[in-house]
């Protein structure tokens, strides 16, 4: 896991809508696979260098970047920071209080997905302020997300079991 400082954007600029910078990059170690369940809640608090929490209108984006130097991040999830700003950490992890914390994953249909060796999961922001990791460590905590770490062999075994179950349901 690598943390980065984002580049603040100027709302008066016409390209403001399109500028996202990664603040967190998650990459599985060699011969490992991470399984991410998009139905799990993202626990998140973001602070700038002055100790102020990020604005409500900060945009969040989750992207997946394939292996290889020429691979570009592909956005797979999005949200607006406002609901996270309104809830303290304790309420964010409480299932009775965190229903407003929704990251939309339209292309996934709420299905779990895998991050394989060489691929990266990026948490990106579009904000008027920059995160300061030194003054606010940790400014982000996202391991309430169900992140199962599997060996490559275990991931392949699970995929084979699911494949056989699917073939059985389809009558093959």
The domain of 84 spans 2-147
Please provide the average confidence, as pLDDT, over all residues in the chain. Answer: 76
The answer to whether residue 86 scores a pLDDT higher than 50 is: yes
pLDDT of residue 138: 45
The answer to whether residue 94 scores a pLDDT higher than 50 is: yes
H-run or E-run covering 2: strand 2-3
CA distance 54 to 9: 13
pLDDT of residue 56: 92
CA distance 68 to 37: 24
For the segment 58-65, the average pLDDT, to the nearest whole number, is 90
CATH number of the domain that 47 lies in? 2.60.120.1180
- In a domain? residue 141: yes
pLDDT of residue 143: 42
- Number of folded domains that form the chain: 1
Over the stretch 142-158, which tens digit does the pLDDT of each residue have? 443 444 555 666 666 77
- In a domain? residue 140: yes
Over the stretch 120-138, which tens digit does the pLDDT of each residue have? 988 888 888 887 766 554 4
- In a domain? residue 171: no
The answer to whether residue 140 scores a pLDDT higher than 60 is: no
- In a domain? residue 50: yes
- In a domain? residue 112: yes
- In a domain? residue 169: no
CA distance 103 to 153: 30
- In a domain? residue 105: yes
- In a domain? residue 16: yes
Beta strands 32-36; 74-80: pairing state:
unpaired
Q: Is the distance from CB of 57 to CB of 170 less than 8 angstroms?
A: no
Non-local (6+) Cβ contacts of 153 within 8 A are none
pLDDT of residue 28: 85
């Amino acid at each position: 896991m690598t943390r980065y400082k984002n580049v603040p954007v100027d709302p008066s600029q016409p390209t403001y809508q399109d500028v996202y910078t990664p603040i967190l990059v998650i990459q599985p170690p060699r011969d490992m696979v991470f399984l991410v369940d998009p139905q799990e809640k993202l626990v998140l608090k973001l602070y700038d260098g002055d100790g102020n929490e990020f604005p409500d209108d900060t945009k969040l984006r989750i992207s997946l970047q394939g292996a290889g130097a020429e691979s570009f991040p592909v956005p797979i999830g999005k949200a607006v920071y406002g609901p996270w700003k309104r809830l303290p950490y304790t309420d964010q992890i409480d299932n009775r209080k965190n229903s407003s914390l929704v990251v939309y994953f339209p292309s996934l249909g709420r299905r779990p997905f895998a991050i394989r060796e060489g691929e990266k999961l990026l948490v990106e922001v579009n904000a008027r302020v920059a995160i300061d990791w030194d003054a606010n460590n940790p400014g982000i905590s996202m391991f309430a997300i169900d992140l199962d770490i599997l060996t490559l062999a275990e991931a392949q075994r699970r995929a084979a079991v699911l494949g056989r179950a699917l073939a059985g349901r389809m009558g093959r």
